[in-house]
Amino acid sequence: MDNIKFTIEHLSKSFEKKTVLKDVDFTFNKGKIYGLLGRNGAGKTTLFNCLNRDLKADSGSFYIEDNGARREVKAEDIGYVLSTPTVPEFLTGREFLKFFIDINENAIRDKRSIDEYFDYMGIASEDRDKLLKDYSHGMKNKMQMLVNIIARPNILLLDEPLTSLDVVVAEEMKQMLRSLKKECIIIFSTHILDLAIDLCDDIVLLSHGELELVEKSDLDNKDFKDKIIYTLREDDNE
């Protein structure tokens, strides 16, 4: 599992007369955090939903290349962290983790104790047996991230996960993602250019339904950076 690539070929998706994804074509490599940069409404979530197969693409395909061998993307290959965390609020944090570990027992590698997982995510002892409905947004986000870390997918899709977190939690999450990237492909969607520059190894711009790699070295050039910002605003005015 050392040399994993994730390739999307000519993916398209329309809703009635509106084309959201026109010709998405890109290869992502393991060991990197990719910033998927685009305005709100550019199609980032639509792309993630197609890759997660929550939506059926109109055309195109995607696959994993594992040490040179091409194969279909399986459900367990993809972890998906939503911008608004979805957790079973009628369970406590501990019950939720135990349930997740129990149903995925055969697939989990290097299994740890529940409290070790809580320690890793920085969930305080006094919060571990509280109902998830009483967790803050940031704590729910951490729990959603934690089950994906336990599952260790090959591809981790993060849909604006830091946007509504406080500064301390957001910084903790960024450090965690940097430590995780050696194990998987991380695609991090955001509409904030400075966040993408700070966190991501490569930046991919989703504009007019297509993906374009942005060289980070080009962003040292003020004119080029202004062009990217203008493109995001231009899309926003469509």
Reported pTM: 0.86
Q: What is the pLDDT of residues 29-66, one digit of tens each?
A: 999 999 999 888 889 999 999 999 999 999 999 999 98
Burial of 95 (0-12, 13-18, 19+ CB in 10 A): middle
For residue 51, is it within any domain? yes
Strand order in the sheet with 33-37: 78-81, 155-159, 185-190, 33-37, 202-207, 210-214
For residue 43, is it within any domain? yes
- The answer to whether 62 touches 8, Cβ cutoff 8 Å, is yes
For residue 124, is it within any domain? no
For residue 56, is it within any domain? yes
Q: How many domains does the chain have?
A: 1
Domain that holds residue 209: 4-89+151-222
Residues paired with residue 211 on neighbouring β-strands, in sequence order: 206
- The answer to whether 208 touches 235, Cβ cutoff 8 Å, is yes
User: Regarding predicted confidence, which is higher, 90 or 190?
Assistant: 90
The DSSP letter of residue 92 is: B
For residue 12, is it within any domain? yes
For residue 30, is it within any domain? yes
**For residue 88, pLDDT beyond 80:** yes
pLDDT at 120: 87
Give dist(CA 42, CA 112) in Å, integer.
39
**For residue 237, pLDDT beyond 60:** no
Count Cβ neighbours within 10 Å for each residue of 63-89 and write b for 16 or more, e otherwise: ebebeeeeeebeeebbbbbebebebee
Domain of 75, CATH number, reads 3.40.50.300
For residue 238, is it within any domain? no
Task: Compute the average pLDDT of residues 16-23.
Answer: 91
For residue 182, is it within any domain? yes
pLDDT bin (cut points 50, 70, 90) of residue 104 is confident
